[in-house]
Homo-oligomer: A and B are copies of this chain.
Amino acid sequence: MTEIAQDNSPPNASDNPVDVGQGIHTSKQSLADRLFLTLRSEIVEGRISSGSKISEPELARRFDASRSSLREALMRLESLSLIERRVNVGARVVDLTERGLLEIYDVREALEGMACRLAAENRSEEDLVELRQMLERHEQQEELQKGTAYFQPEGDFDFHFRIVQASNNDLLIDTLCNKLYYRVRMYRYQLGMASPRAHRAFREHSHIIDAIEAGDGELAEILMRRHIRASRNNIEKKLSQDD
C-alpha cells in the first residue's frame, strides 16, 4: 500500500507562493482530493506510464481507499485530459503523441499571447516587481551553469506561469495554469526536452517583460507568440530528425 501525500507540491515552480484559484488556504481536502493530487504527480512524472491501463480495484487497494473516492480522483484526472475513460471499459493514461504536443503549442501560442497582452494592459506595480525579480533569479542561475541549462525547463515554466497570472483573467489562468500546464509538464518530463534554446529563450523572456513594462500589449503579444512558436519549431525539427 502506498502512502499518499498530505501536502503535494504546488504547480508553480518558484519560491514565492502564488494562489491558483480555489481561494486562500483550502486546507480542507477530501481523500479524493489527495488521491487526485498523488495520481496527477505520478502520471505527469511518468511513474504511471502513458498508455497504460488503470485498474480501479488495484489502485484502490494500493492506496487503501474505496473505489468511490478513487473514481472521483479518476474523473478529475479525466477532466485534465491526463487519462481517458470509456464506459464499461475503464481508464487509460493518455499517450503522448507528436501531434498532441504540437496541438498544445498552438493553443499555448494563442492563449499565452493573449495573456501577455492583458498583462501589459493591466500591468500592476506588484506584478512588474515580481516579474523583474524572477528574471534576475533566472539570470543568476544561467550565469552559474552556462549552457547546461539544467534548471531552465523549470525556469521557463516559472516564466510562463507568472505572465499568465499577471493577465488578471481568471478563465485564462484556470485554463492554462490549472489544466493545460499539467499536460505540458507531462510532455516535458517524459519526452525530456532540455531546451538548447536556453540563452536565446532568456533574452526573449527579457524582451517580453520589457514590453509588458512599457504597457505595449500589442508588442507583448507578438513577442510571446514568437517565443512559443520558436519553441514549437524547435521541437518539430527535433521530432522529425528522430524518425
Contacts and interface: CB of A to CB of B under 8 A. Distances in A.
A158 interface: no
A220 interface: no
Interface in A121-159: none
A28 B109 CA distance: 36
A174 B107 CA distance: 11
A28 B114 contact: no
A72 to B, nearest CB: 7
A76 interface: yes
B171 A88 contact: no
A110 interface: yes
A111 B113 CA distance: 10
Nearest to A172: B107
Contacts of A104: 171
Given A29-B87, A87-B26, A114 B103 contact: no
A33 interface: yes
Interface in A79-93: 79, 81, 87-88
A12 to B, nearest CB: 21
Nearest to A173: B103
A72 B33 CA distance: 15
A6 interface: no
A228 to B, nearest CB: 11
Contact of A169 (B79, B106, B172, B174): B106
A71 B72 CA distance: 9
A211 B224 CA distance: 25
A118 interface: yes
A60 B161 CA distance: 40
Contact of A106 (B81, B87, B103, B172): B172
Contacts of A52: none
17 contacts: A26-B87, A30-B87, A68-B68, A75-B75, A75-B76, A75-B79, A79-B79, A81-B174, A103-B169, A103-B170, A106-B171, A106-B172, A107-B111, A110-B110, A110-B111, A111-B111, A175-B175
3 nearest CB pairs, A to B: A79-B79, A110-B114, A110-B110
Interface of A: 26, 28-30, 33, 68, 71-72, 75-76, 79, 81, 87-88, 100, 103-104, 106-107, 109-111, 113-114, 118, 169-172, 174-175
